[in-house]
Structure formats: structure tokens, C-alpha cells
Chains A and B, each alone.
Chain A
Amino acid sequence: MTVGLSHYLILSAALFGLGALAAITRRNAVAVLMGVELMLNAANLNFLAFWRYLTPQGMEAQVFVIIGFTVAAAEAALGLAVVLSLYRDFGTLNVDEASGLKG
């Protein structure tokens, strides 16, 4: 039995599910960010698995992964700035309590 494309896809589906679970259920805003990072990692893993097994000569998947890394870095920087201003204005990091936009 060899490791095929579907192994990587199943693993990254599991990683995405765990990241989504962290992003949905955690109360701490930084933990929500960590869940988003897990989901981005699963997406990057999918890109590279498809690149290796389906289009090893193409460059598109690698360029997408570079953009994914950039988006992850931008998301981390912006998210932490939002976390710090949330802390300053509300005195909490609990995303349930920061409900100013709730209708």
C-alpha cells in the first residue's frame, strides 16, 4: 500500500475540520485566530498535494501557496491588532462579550 493523493486529502480534511472547530467554539479571540491558521495550513497542504500528484510540472499551485502564506501572515498581523484594540476598548478577549454589532 503506497501513500497516494487521497491520503493527503483526507488528512487535510481532518485538519480543516479541527481548525473550523477551534474557530467556532473557542471563546478566546486568539484561539479563534489559531483555528483559522489551522484551516489555512490544511488548504496549503491540499494545494501542494495536488501539485505533486496531478501537475508536477506546473507552477500554479506553488504560486497559490505563496499567496496563502502571505494571506496567513497578513491575517495574523491584522488579527492581533484587532485583538489588542479589543482588549483596550472592552477589557476582554472573549468573542461572546464583544457583541456590539449584534442586532
Chain B
Amino acid sequence: MSSLAILGAFLSLAVLTLFPAVMVISTRNILHAGFWLLPTLIGVAGLYAMLDAHFFVVAQVLIYIGAILVLILFALMLTRDVMNPRAPQHNGLLTAAVPICASLAALSAVLLARHPWPAGRPPEAAGAHDQTVALGRALIGTYALPFEAASVLLLAALVGAIVLAKAPQTEPPSAERTDCSGGEK
């Protein structure tokens, strides 16, 4: 592929990633904000494809779009009637946070652009098959301990999520708990 085509693909993926991210912040309807997250995640998956990270394209679609985004949409739909869509959707920090976040992004962008990174395209990456085989071998070989630590973290988080989300029925009903315990007079 010519370098111009690669640049065009990169720029369209950048727009596909950044414009929906702006909409996630600015849209009033919170459910629409959740749906705007979808093109951002797809754009990031496309950028992974441009970086030849084949495994992570699939993982991004499966985990971020298939699991995390669906979980977020579930939470939005379960709680949609809580917030009045005509009430302000941003807190009083908006006027201060916009210049701060913009200057944070601009400053890091300037610093990263000025650093003398090795220019040009690196040598060809391995094919999808070889790359995934090497990653799998690394995960059960050299990096088995970080991988297991990540699994334990996920297990602990999921158990904690179940405990947190469970209704407090086992506690003795006290005066301020009676409205939550359901049905007991």
C-alpha cells in the first residue's frame, strides 16, 4: 500500500475515533453517549489493525464492544429514568476542565511530537499466526506470573461486584434499611 493510502486510512480512523469521543462528552441523552462509544472503540480496533496487532483487533471487538460496552448499555438502560435529560449533564467544572484537559493533551502531543523517535516504518511484523503463537507461548512461559495476577484481579473484582450488587437481604432490618429490604413491615 502506498504511504498516501496509509495516511488516509490513519486520518479517517482518527476521525472515527475522536469525533464520537467528543459526542460521548457533549451529547445530552446519556443513552446516545453510550451508543457513541461504539464507533470510538471500532476506530481503536482499526488503529490496532494498522499497527499489525492482529490478536488485539479481535480482543478489542470481543471484550470492549462485546462485553464492556454491552455492560455499560445495560447499566444505562436500567437507570435511564433517574436523571432528567433536561437537567444539566455537566457539573460546574466544565469551564475549568476544558482548557485544562485541552492543554494537557496539547502539551503531551507537542512533547511527543518533538521527541526524536526512530523515523519510518519498522521492518515487517510477523504474520497473524506466528504473532499469536508467540504471544500464547509468552503468556504461559515468561509472563505466566503477570497473566495469573491479572486473572486473580479479575476474579476478585467479579466476586466483589456480585457482593456489591446483591441486595442487602441478609442484614437484620434496621430503621433506615426497611425501605431497601423489601416487603417487611
Question: Residues on A close to B: CB < 8 A?
Answer: 1-11, 13-22, 24-28, 30-31, 33-35, 37-38, 41, 44-45, 48-49, 51-54, 56, 59-60, 62-63, 65-67, 69-78, 80-85, 87-89, 91-96
30 contacts between A and B (CB under 8 A): A2-B120, A3-B50, A9-B109, A10-B112, A11-B14, A13-B109, A14-B105, A15-B44, A17-B104, A17-B105, A18-B18, A22-B24, A24-B93, A24-B97, A30-B34, A31-B24, A34-B72, A37-B37, A56-B122, A59-B138, A59-B142, A59-B143, A62-B55, A62-B135, A63-B146, A65-B53, A72-B68, A78-B161, A80-B71, A93-B83
- B3, B14, B53, B153 interface centre (most CB from chain A within 10 Å): B53
Query: CB distance A17 to B7 under 8 Å?
Result: no
Shortest A71–chain B CB gap in Å is 7
Per CB-CB distance, the 7 closest pairs between chain A and chain B, nearest first, are A17-B105, A74-B157, A81-B164, A81-B161, A81-B165, A9-B112, A59-B138
Q: Judge if B67 is at the interface, Cβ distance under 8 Å.
A: yes
Given A21-B25, A62-B135, CB of A28 within 8 Å of CB of B71: no
Shortest A40–chain B CB gap in Å is 9
- A74 to B72 CA separation, bound complex (whole angstroms): 13
Query: CB distance B40 to A30 under 8 Å?
Result: no
> Residue on B with the closest CB to A89?
B180
Q: Which residues of A contact B115 (CB under 8 A)?
A: 6
Q: How many residues does chain B have at the interface if contact means C-beta atoms less than 8 Å apart?
A: 87
- A83 to B34 CA separation, bound complex (whole angstroms): 15
Query: CB distance A34 to B165 under 8 Å?
Result: no
Option from B56, B88, B121, B160 in Cβ contact (under 8 Å) with A62:
B56
Shortest A58–chain B CB gap in Å is 9
Report the tally of A-B residue pairs with Cβ distances under 8 A: 243
- A95 to B53 CA separation, bound complex (whole angstroms): 37
Query: CB distance B91 to A25 under 8 Å?
Result: yes
Query: CB distance A83 to B79 under 8 Å?
Result: yes
Q: Judge if B94 is at the interface, Cβ distance under 8 Å.
A: yes
Query: CB distance B146 to A80 under 8 Å?
Result: no
Q: Judge if B119 is at the interface, Cβ distance under 8 Å.
A: yes
Shortest B130–chain A CB gap in Å is 12
- A16 to B37 CA separation, bound complex (whole angstroms): 14
Q: Which residues of B contact A72 (CB under 8 A)?
A: 63-64, 68
Q: Which residues of B contact A78 (CB under 8 A)?
A: 157, 160-161, 164
- A25 to B56 CA separation, bound complex (whole angstroms): 30
- A94 to B68 CA separation, bound complex (whole angstroms): 21
Query: CB distance B75 to A80 under 8 Å?
Result: yes
Q: Which residues of B contact A14 (CB under 8 A)?
A: 18, 105, 109
Interface readout for B78-90 with A: 1 if CB under 8 Å, 0 if not?
Answer: 1100110000111
